[in-house]
Structure 1
């Protein structure tokens, strides 16, 4: 059923509600359990502490997912919006014609904008970087001697590489001469370091669950014959990505960030996703293109 009227749109939203609720309950349960576990068993690393964040996780030798180099983190979490985009595009392009609506494309574009604003650019630094800086964050460089040097915040925002050769004034007071080949990209530390992973995992999993639900509802309503074999495999692939997202949420809440940073990341992810369910966004979707 195409969403061609306000009544159709409201009907679709009511049908999607249960799918959203199930995904939200699953994510909330994982976040609460993982965070509680990390507190009770002291398994989390305070990533905003500049004295700790550059060190391996204390449990990295005995707990595979406590290592930042684990395959789930390197190939999945750090490239999550790429996986999300590929999963959505494959799902959309293989969907039956009546599921290829402009509303779904606009929703994807809106979520992509949220991803960019929170993690990439918001008239300069991203929203997450601005939040860290506004709560006491500092742009820091960790020297080989163990000393911390505060540098201008612009170097963190631009992710510039610094060295004694490129920025001699920054290290003039260093008691230990720096090697000629030493270089480092400054990082924002201290302040409230919202879990960007939790933000993106929450938003991505809710978005993909919504998109998959279109195909599930159509199949349940007897429209399976309209779906190609390729589309059914793509739906399965999307479900695998969602399950990996659940696992990534669990490992993040157990091993990284303070409890409050994980919770705020989760809540901001909900907010980023909820943008596509605001009255303003729905009004835009219901607006018919002008006829030339």
Structure 2
């Protein structure tokens, strides 16, 4: 009797292993408890947490644009299309932050990239993740160089006039009412190729589409710091990452894996130290960028100028922080934050 029961048990086990139940019906093996895997993020798109951080920027711009329309003080203040701002004198100025000479605009925004750079250096110099790996520090510096290069091309110089100035002239803009002495009596007024040169000559830069340089700077600089600081803190344990936040990367053989596989031989991402002075200073700079972005959204530029400033900034962000995830050779050169 015992032998018969043992034989029947072995038959049941064998049929189950072959994918059938004892009664002959299909048998679907159950997945072991805790082995269910979450859906991997796309290497071509930001992770959910990154998307949430990116969403801050259009939300600030939309809120600011709506506020400027709904606020009685702002609507009552004349807007100068050429100057991209409300009236700057008298009681008609809608707010202290609507003045171009407000302290934060002069000290912070006008020297914005210097503050962004100082914040990045302060963070890199103070956090253990960079002291533990010279390679990690070099790759972070290369990402700063690429982001800085994009800022230079868009706002300062692009093999001649910057992209903003080229776009302005391409859309029909020119320098009006410039002093003839600047042109030595020979050049036409429209030959002043940059906004800075036009202003210096006493002219008015008008007639074309002016990408908002303030929006571009504040978005590009602050999100650069968010990426560099955020991933380091999340991976070192100073922050709490939600489930499924692992970045996906395309390997050399085309396989898509979690980015953590490339960090295994690199000593981790630091010792999990808490926020230090450098980290706090960097996050303060990010906060100031967000505040001044909101002020820009309320008091300066048209909605389309702000939109193009946002999109041009996002273009640089994608090239430096998303593109390397699906181009292994580029990732090998500039790495990824926190890795």
How many angstroms apart in 2 are the aligned matches of 1:221 and 1:209? 13
CA displacement, residues 113-139 of structure 1 (integer Å, 9 cap, x when unaligned): 000000011110000000011111111
Structure number with greater CO (CA < 8 Å, separation at least 6) is 1
Contact 1:45 1:256 in 2 (8 A): no
1:267/1:214 CA distance change after superposition, 3 Å: same
User: For residues 68-83 of structure 1, what are the structure 2 equivalents within 5 Å?
Assistant: 68-83=100-115
How many angstroms apart in 2 are the aligned matches of 1:111 and 1:45? 36
CA displacement, residues 219-275 of structure 1 (integer Å, 9 cap, x when unaligned): 348988564x8x711111111111111110100010011111111111111112212
CA displacement, residues 4-51 of structure 1 (integer Å, 9 cap, x when unaligned): xxxxxx99x89x83542232122221111111222344558756436x
Q: RMSD across aligned C-alpha pairs, in angstroms?
A: 3.5
5+ residue gaps, structure 2, are 1-39, 180-186, 241-268, 335-339
Contact 1:47 1:193 in 2 (8 A): no
Contact 1:202 1:269 in 2 (8 A): yes
Q: How much has 1:216 moved relative to structure 2?
A: 1.7
How many angstroms apart in 2 are the aligned matches of 1:282 and 1:31? 35
| 2:205 matched residue in structure 1 | 188
CA displacement, residues 166-197 of structure 1 (integer Å, 9 cap, x when unaligned): xxxxxxxxxxxxxxxxx844342221011100
| 1:212 matched residue in structure 2 | 229
CA displacement, residues 80-135 of structure 1 (integer Å, 9 cap, x when unaligned): 11100110011112221246513211111100000000001111000000001111
| 1:6 matched residue in structure 2 | none
| 1:38 matched residue in structure 2 | 68
1:59/1:213 CA distance change after superposition, 3 Å: farther
The counterpart of 2:168, out of the listed 132, 153, 177, is 132
5+ residue gaps, structure 1, are 1-9, 144-149, 163-182
| 1:267 matched residue in structure 2 | 311
| 1:111 matched residue in structure 2 | 147
User: In the alignment, is residue 256 of structure 1 matched against residue 303 of structure 2?
Assistant: no
The counterpart of 2:52, out of the listed 8, 22, 35, is 22
TM-score by length of 1: 0.72
1:104/1:187 CA distance change after superposition, 3 Å: farther
**How many pairs were matched up?**
248
Q: How much has 1:287 moved relative to structure 2?
A: 4.9
TM-score by length of 2: 0.63
| 1:202 matched residue in structure 2 | 219
